[in-house]
């Protein structure tokens, strides 16, 4: 075998290894902030494309030119994501794109890079791995409560009950977080 052939074989092996070195799910913050080289082989939700288009057409063209895995999460993973978000109290404030990203963490069991505190809170409570993109990230798990703006009565948010009026005094509830 010639030196050129050996080098080509080694190059092929290194290419295959590099494809497997970094596989993670990337939030839109990573798509916007990270250099292109760091994004390669990342898993992204197809729904993120619209979100990215609203921020930067130039970045869309750049991101579409690199090797990313654009995926729509399966229905089972979306259900798991919604259940996890409901359990953490974050469901009402997460977008469909956020839920798709959480669903991808269930579907692929890979780390999600995100600066979204609600996503981080949901994933922490669901015992899924996440890392921040640029920001520090959450240091405590949050628990959400509804507090009446009048009498101060608090209750656990019921996502099936859209009533935000206190039965006791008739004034509205406000959603507040507290550290668990």
Are 152 and 97 found together in one domain?
A: no
Residue 40 lies in a domain: yes
How far apart are the C-alpha atoms of 95 and 81, rounded to whole Å? Answer: 12
pLDDT digits (tens, 9 = 90+) for 12-60: 565 555 444 557 999 999 999 999 889 999 999 999 999 999 999 999 9
- Closest by Cα among 132, 138, 98, 97 to 115: 132
Are 109 and 163 found together in one domain?
A: no
Token pair, residue 166, equals: 């206190």
Q: Where are the alpha helices (DSSP H) in 113-166?
A: 117-125
Residue 103 lies in a domain: yes
Task: Please state the domain count of the chain.
Answer: 2
Residue 162 lies in a domain: yes
Residue 20, pLDDT score: 47
**Final residue of a domain: which of 131, 151, 167?**
131
pTM over 0.75: no
The dihedral region occupied by 170, where left means phi > 0, alpha psi between -120 and 50, and beta the remainder, is left
The predicted model gives 51-78 an average pLDDT of: 93
- Closest by Cα among 38, 106, 33 to 68: 38
Residue 137 lies in a domain: no
Tell me which residue range forms the domain holding 171: 142-179
């Amino acid at each position: 075998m010639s030196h050129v052939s050996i080098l080509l074989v080694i190059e092929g092996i290194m290419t295959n290894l590099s494809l497997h070195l970094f596989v993670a799910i990337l939030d839109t913050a990573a798509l916007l902030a990270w250099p292109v080289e760091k994004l390669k082989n990342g898993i992204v939700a197809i729904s993120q494309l619209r979100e990215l288009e609203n921020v930067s057409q130039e970045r869309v063209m750049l991101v579409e030119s690199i090797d990313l895995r654009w995926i729509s999460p399966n229905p089972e993973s979306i259900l798991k994501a919604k259940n996890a978000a409901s359990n953490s109290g974050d469901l009402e404030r997460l977008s469909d794109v956020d839920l798709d990203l959480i669903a991808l963490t269930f579907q692929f069991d890979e780390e999600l890079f995100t600066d979204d505190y609600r996503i981080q809170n949901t994933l922490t409570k669901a015992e899924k791995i996440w890392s921040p993109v640029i920001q520090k990230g959450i240091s405590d798990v949050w628990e959400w409560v509804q507090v009446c703006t009048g009498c101060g009565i608090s209750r656990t948010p019921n996502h099936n009950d859209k009533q935000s009026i206190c039965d006791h005094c008739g004034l509205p509830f406000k959603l507040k977080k507290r550290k668990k």
